[in-house]
Chains A and B, each alone.
Chain A
Amino acid sequence: MIEVHDLHKHFGGFRAVDGASLSIRPGTITGLIGPNGAGKTTLFNVIAGRLPPTSGRVTMGGEDITGLPPHELFHKGLLRTFQIAHEFSSMTVRENLMMVPPNQSGESIWNAWFARGRIRQEEARLARKADEVLEFLTIRHLADEKAGNLSGGQKKLLELGRTMMVDARIVFLDEVGAGVNRTLLNTIGDAIVRLNRERGYTFCVIEHDMDFIGRLCDPVIVMAEGKVLAEGPAESIMRNEAVIEAYLGRGLRNKGAA
């Protein structure tokens, strides 16, 4: 589905991504782990069109998508969430979801003036869909809350919910578990698995919680210092000497690798 060929992203002289090559197979929930500063978020940003690569290529289903802007990638079915939640804070949770589907006829200002009836029908459908998604994520009761008032974990759920408003092909999740309590994390994990099974979403998940990674992800890709260090099933990755070295050698505390 996604192929990354020898990708570089340098900030000045600093090589945040330093020749990473990897592939994400369709239908998988691929884990992406690595110590802080390994370049995982930067890799996401380059794949998703947020940052131009210094060099290298990204393809999706064989098509070269290197450097395409995020909104075009969205239309090709590539969606992502952010390490630090990017909710639309002044809008309600429901509105956060309703804005997602593309090509709404109400997005044309002309229709907003002269095709109110058609918009009203569309809006009713979107609101129903949004409420279904909220139900699925167990936060239906928050539908009318301002998104800015949500807790960090709820915002993560909301971001996941946004990807459910359309038929995504591949979804990149950046640290879904950061600031999320255990119960909520399980909810998120269940949602990911169901989306993967029932709707055929391919996932690429950055997460530091090794239990979570071990339970959900196959395969797991390990990054360190901008490069791909190892790839394989979760159990073998966690026993991999080089991986343990990468995590512990730099004195980083991590329960999973310990």
Chain B
Amino acid sequence: MTSVPRATSQAAPRAGADLRIPLLYLAMAVLLVVTGWIMGANYALTIVNMGLISAIMALGVNLQWGYAGLFNIGVLGFLALGGLATVLVAMPPVVEAWEAGGLRVMAGLVLGFVTILGLVQIWKRMAPGRARTWSMIVFGVAGLLVTRWVFDPGVAAVEAVSPASTGYLGGLGLPVLLAWPAGGLLAAGAAWVIGKTALGLRSDYLAIATLGIGEIILAVLKNEDWLARGVKNVVGIPSPVPQAIQLQNDPDFVARAAQLGYDPVTASTLWNKILYMGLFAAVLLVVLVLAQLALHSPWGRMMRAIRDNEVAAEAMGKDVTRRHLQIFVLGSAVIGIAGAMMVTLDGQLTPGSYQPLRYTFLIWVMVIVGGSGNNWGAILGGFLIWWLWVVVEPLGRWIFAHLIGVLPEGSWLAGHLAGAEAHMRLLTMGVLLLLVLRFSPRGLIPER
């Protein structure tokens, strides 16, 4: 009997929640349109494109955290791996470098791998004790020395090949779109290795492991010049869509733009961005559909059960460690795809620009503000937070300029405000996070 009033009282918020999602998305669209109206369509499209990529990143983190409770604080490492894939797939091979030392480098990598395999085998096969310890030390040191003896001259030779423009091995010279799934695979592979070692231990070990591996991946990218030129950056990554310059040189395009009343420069930059937008939106749609299908299936039910209560799920026959590994790999693959898309959009890989604040913290803010455990929330969070991240600086500068204008000349506050401008971004993110956690702790679009 008591369930009757409860049922009706439940129906009301559910109807509200149904409207909440379209309304919030509408509001986001209005924000973007207004931004375009004030700052120009080009500016707004730039935000939309990176917003689409951010939404995919947020979907990846949401898979891991929202649906499995796995705490990945090495997001930037997986993004960087995706970016690396773009270079490895799409850049042309540097033939000279391959001739100079390519084989030595590859042989060195193989030897390093064999050394690790050998150490694992010794660890597994020998009985614990002094003999095993010494065997491992001797084998490890010998393996390391041999590896470096082969590897180092190769690296030196490769990096000596016109270091100002190449000095690395280059890539496979394949179509750049192939780099997106490749980025996903690379990130998935890394996630598998991390997950194999850290999952099934206490959950905080995974967090530490992801943090550590993220930094290691970045250190490798910055320092191993033979791989992707390190901090010298790889530029000129091929674009999957015609670039603005190409369009401007295409008489057909110029003519059609003129018909519509656009000058060639404006039309070409806009069209280039719109093409990117189409590609990114298609990827987002595919990822979203696959994620939703999975989550609203018995697979998703099992994952929610594991997240709700690991002990009970294990007692009900679910192999929690294996499932954690699966969703961790899937989420990382999505993050890797987004990383590859981002580098494709930029046309360059710049390892120095991968800051934890921008590429781990910010993605987490997207998921938490949007609503973890809800894909619609994660996507909204991706757009909203990225929009805010971009506009908050010009907006802050504008507000401060007006404030300083009305303050008396040389006042203490005016000087202080001028200095504070630079911190606007982080301050806004911090305040927003606090507000959401205080007033809507489950995010703008909560799980259910």
Any A CB within 8 A of the CB of B298: yes
User: Smallest CB–CB gap between B229 and chain A, Å?
Assistant: 37
Q: Which residues of B contact A71 (CB under 8 A)?
A: 314-320
- Tell me the residues in window 34-76 of chain A with beta carbons closer than 8 Å to chain B beta carbons: 48, 50, 69-71, 74-75
Q: Which residues of A contact B309 (CB under 8 A)?
A: 86-89
Interface size on B, residues (CB 8 A): 28
Chain B CB within 10 A, most for which of A86, A100, A116: A86
Interface membership of chain A positions 114-142, coded 1 if the CB is closer than 8 angstroms to chain B and 0 otherwise: 00100100110000000000000000011
Contact of A86 among B301, B315, B330 (CB under 8 A): B315
Interface of B is mostly: helix
Closest chain A residue, CB of each to CB of B323 = A107
CA distance A79 to B313 in the complex (A): 11
User: Smallest CB–CB gap between A163 and chain B, Å?
Assistant: 9
Q: Which residues of A contact B304 (CB under 8 A)?
A: 88, 90-91
Contact of A109 among B316, B326, B447 (CB under 8 A): B326
Asked whether A70 and B448 contact (CB < 8 A) given A109-B326, A112-B297, the answer is no
Q: Which residues of B contact A109 (CB under 8 A)?
A: 294, 297, 299, 326, 330
B315 and A70 form a contact (CB under 8 A)? yes
Chain B CB within 10 A, most for which of A99, A100, A113, A116: A99
CA distance A107 to B299 in the complex (A): 4
Any A CB within 8 A of the CB of B308: yes
Asked whether A100 and B299 contact (CB < 8 A) given A86-B311, A141-B3, the answer is no
User: Smallest CB–CB gap between B88 and chain A, Å?
Assistant: 27
User: Smallest CB–CB gap between B290 and chain A, Å?
Assistant: 6
Any B CB within 8 A of the CB of A162: yes
Q: Which residues of A contact B290 (CB under 8 A)?
A: 113
User: Smallest CB–CB gap between B331 and chain A, Å?
Assistant: 12
Asked whether A106 and B315 contact (CB < 8 A) given A88-B309, A90-B304, A90-B308, the answer is no
Any B CB within 8 A of the CB of A156: no
B317 and A100 form a contact (CB under 8 A)? yes
Q: Which residues of B contact A50 (CB under 8 A)?
A: 311, 315
B314 and A91 form a contact (CB under 8 A)? no
A91 and B305 form a contact (CB under 8 A)? yes
Any A CB within 8 A of the CB of B27: no
Interface size class of A (residues with CB under 8 A): 35 or more
User: Smallest CB–CB gap between B153 and chain A, Å?
Assistant: 46
User: Smallest CB–CB gap between B202 and chain A, Å?
Assistant: 15
B315 and A80 form a contact (CB under 8 A)? yes
User: Smallest CB–CB gap between B60 and chain A, Å?
Assistant: 15
User: Smallest CB–CB gap between A83 and chain B, Å?
Assistant: 12
B301 and A91 form a contact (CB under 8 A)? yes
Any B CB within 8 A of the CB of A225: no
B298 and A112 form a contact (CB under 8 A)? yes
CA distance A100 to B305 in the complex (A): 10
Q: Which residues of A contact B299 (CB under 8 A)?
A: 106-109, 111-112
Q: Which residues of A contact B448 (CB under 8 A)?
A: 90
Q: Which residues of A contact B330 (CB under 8 A)?
A: 109
Q: Which residues of B contact A100 (CB under 8 A)?
A: 316-317
Any A CB within 8 A of the CB of B34: no
CA distance A91 to B447 in the complex (A): 12
CA distance A98 to B304 in the complex (A): 13
CA distance A107 to B327 in the complex (A): 13
Interface membership of chain A positions 138-177, coded 1 if the CB is closer than 8 angstroms to chain B and 0 otherwise: 0001100100000000000000001000000000000000
Closest chain B residue, CB of each to CB of A113 = B293
Query: Which residues does B use to contact A, with CB under 8 Å?
Result: 3, 290, 293-294, 297-302, 304-305, 308-309, 311-320, 326, 330, 447-448
A-B contact pairs, 18 of them (CB 8 A): A50-B315, A71-B315, A79-B315, A87-B309, A88-B305, A88-B308, A89-B309, A90-B308, A99-B301, A106-B298, A106-B299, A107-B302, A109-B330, A111-B297, A112-B293, A112-B298, A112-B299, A119-B298
